[in-house]
Structure 1
Amino acid sequence: MFAVTVRDHVMIAHSFRGEVFGPARRLHGATYVVDAAFRRAELDADNLVVDIGLATRELNGVLAALNYRNLDELPEFAGVNTSTEYLAKVVADRLADRVRDGALGEGARGLAGITVTFRESHVAWASYECAL
C-alpha cells in the first residue's frame, strides 16, 4: 500500500461534558498538528498516490472551517464532545467527501482510504481511518 501524508494545524476552543473530562469541562483552547495520509494499492498513471498540492489545499480548506473557532458555538457540534478522536473523524469524512466530489483530481478517485491524525502534543495523538 502506498501513502502520501500532508500536514497542517488548527487552533480551536471547546469544552466537554462529563466527569471523565475533569477540568477540560471548562472552555479551553487546543492547537493540533493535523496529518492526512492518503492511501492506495497502486500508483495512478502519473505514478502518484495523490497530487500533494491538491491534498494540502483541501486539508487546509477543511481545517479553515474550524480554525480560530469555538466549536461549542457551531451548530454542527451542538451537544457533541469534540474529542481529539471525534475531530479526526470529522476531518477524514470531510476530506473523503472532497475526494468523491473530484476536488483532489481524477487520479484521487483510485484512493483506498484516508487516515487523519490529530496530534495534541508530542506524547498524545488520535487517528481515524476511513475507506473510500
Structure 2
Amino acid sequence: MIEQTPVFRLSVDDHLMIAHSLPGEYFGAAQQLHGATLALTATFERQGLNEHGVVMDIGLAHQLLAAVLEPLRHQNLDEHTDFAEKISTTEVICHHIALQVAEALPQAHGLQAVEVAAEENPQARASVRLVLQ
C-alpha cells in the first residue's frame, strides 16, 4: 500500500570556507590550524505539501541557509564565540547550522524536520537531522 500523505523534501546547497584546529591526538594532523571548505546541503522536510504545492519557497530556503552561514564565512572557528568550549568537527558544525536554520524559520512553517549535511571531500560527509516540534 502506498502512503496517502507522502513526506516531501526540499534541499538547497551552499559552501563554507573556514579555518580551525581539532585538539588532541585523536585528530592526528588535523590538530594543526588548517583550512576547510565544506559543501553544505540544507534539507527541509514536511508531510504533504503546503497550500502552494511546495515544501517551502526555494528562495527562502536559500536565504535562510546563506544568512546562517554568513557569520561563519572565512572565520577561524577556534576564535568564534559560537564554538567556544566546542571542538569544531564537521558534525558539530552541521548541528550548529541546523539549529540556527531551525530557529530562523518563519512561524507556522509546517515543517517536520531540518537536515544539514556537509561534505568535506568527495569521500567523506556528515549530517544531522533535527525533528521540529
Say yes or no: TM over 0.5.
Answer: yes
Tell me the secondary structure at the aligned position of residue 88 of structure 1.
helix
- List gaps (5 residues or longer) in structure 1: none
Q: Which residue of 1 aligns with 2:59?
A: 53
Counterpart residue type for residue 130 of structure 1: L
Note the C-alpha offset of 1:47. Answer: 0.5
The alignment's C-alpha RMSD in Å is 1.0
Q: Which residue of 2 aligns with 1:131?
A: 131
1:3 to 1, 4, 9: 9
Question: Rg: which structure is higher?
Answer: 2
Q: Identity across aligned pairs (percent)?
A: 41
Counterpart residue type for residue 16 of structure 1: L
Alignment of 1:13-24 (within 5 A): 13-24=19-30
Q: Which residue of 1 aligns with 2:117?
A: 117
Matched pairs, number: 126
Q: Which residue of 2 aligns with 1:98?
A: 104
Cα distance between partner residues in 1 of 2:130 and 2:81: 24
- List gaps (5 residues or longer) in structure 2: 1-6
Q: Which residue of 2 aligns with 1:86?
A: 92
Q: Which has the higher helix share?
A: 1
Cα distance between partner residues in 1 of 2:94 and 2:44: 14
